[in-house]
Structure 1
Amino acid sequence: MGSGSAIRGSRVGAGPMGEAERGESAPRVRVPFYCANKHEVVPSFAHEAAVPEEWDCPRCGFPAGKDPQNPPAPPRTEPYKTHLAYVKERRSEEEGRLILDEALAKLRAERAEIEAYIQANAN
């Protein structure tokens, strides 16, 4: 059995919280929103607040609209692209070959310099 002296959920000396202590609540309006997965969300807004055209569905995360027959389309997610896919978007096969040939020529020239240096200093 647990300790009998614990007071759960309130402080010592705290009375009941009623509307008299909190003040009057603002007038509210409840607006239904509908997502593409047929979920209904009914958030409440202050009466004077501007109600948005779309609201995020808390169940699936899709956007929800006010018209149940025509909800907003779910966002289209782009598939993951590799580095090579991005390069192919920017360069043609011909440009790729030219760049590769240039890089290989540079590497071969550097390797030839290193081999010549080693040969000259081997004696």
Structure 2
Amino acid sequence: MAGGSAIRGSRVGAGPMGEAERGDSAPRVWVSYWCASGHETRPSFAQEQGVAVPETWDCPRCGLPAGQDQANPPSAPRNEPYKTHLAYVKERRSDADGAALLDEALSALRARRGG
């Protein structure tokens, strides 16, 4: 026979208390959101006045943004690939600018060395 107490495996607040013990829940409104993959998500929000329902919601199935218009869901965000420091420098300067800067730096170095 297994020993132990009668409340083993339960936690504080567990049990069939129901609404009478916890109080009434706030009135809710369910809003449908659709992603580009066609998934529907229906989160609930408080029905209080002044509470703004967000225009977009992240789809829990695929992670894409979802909107309230089923015919025109928001598009997936464009992911930029990782760029190195050299890639950013090449965006700002042309090869001619780089050659001019290199010549200027080499001239200054040679002048300091006395050669």
Q: TM-score normalised to the size of structure 2?
A: 0.79
Alignment correspondent of 2:47 = 47
Equivalent position of 2:104 in the other structure: 102
- Structure 2 distance, partners of 1:74, 1:45, is 25
Query: Are the structure 2 counterparts of residues 14 and 72 from structure 1 closer, same or farther at C-alpha, using a change threshold of 3 Å?
Result: closer
Distance 1:106 1:60 in 2: 57
Which stretch has the larger CA shift, 98-107 or 26-35?
98-107
Distance 1:53 1:20 in 2: 35
Spell out the pairing of 1:30-109 with structure 2 (5 A cutoff). 30-48=30-48, 49-109=51-111
Secondary structure class of the residue paired with 2:104: helix
Aligned equivalent of 1:22: 22
Q: Which residue of 1 aligns with 2:11?
A: 10
Give the % identical residues: 66
CA-CA distance at 1:93 after TM superposition = 1.4
Quote the Cα distance in structure 2 between the aligned partners of 1:54 and 1:75.
13
Offset of residue 76 of structure 1: 1.0
Give the match's secondary structure for 2:53: coil
Distance 1:38 1:17 in 2: 39
Question: Where does structure 1 lack aligned partners over 5 or more consecutive residues?
Answer: 114-123
CA deviation map 1:47-94 (0-9, x unaligned): 223222211112222210111111011111112212111101111211
Question: Which structure has greater helix proportion?
Answer: 1
Could you say what secondary structure the match of 1:74 adopts? coil
Give the RMSD, CA atoms, in angstroms.
Answer: 2.7
**SS of 1:55 mapped into structure 2:** strand
Q: Which has the larger radius of gyration?
A: 1
TM-score by length of 1: 0.74
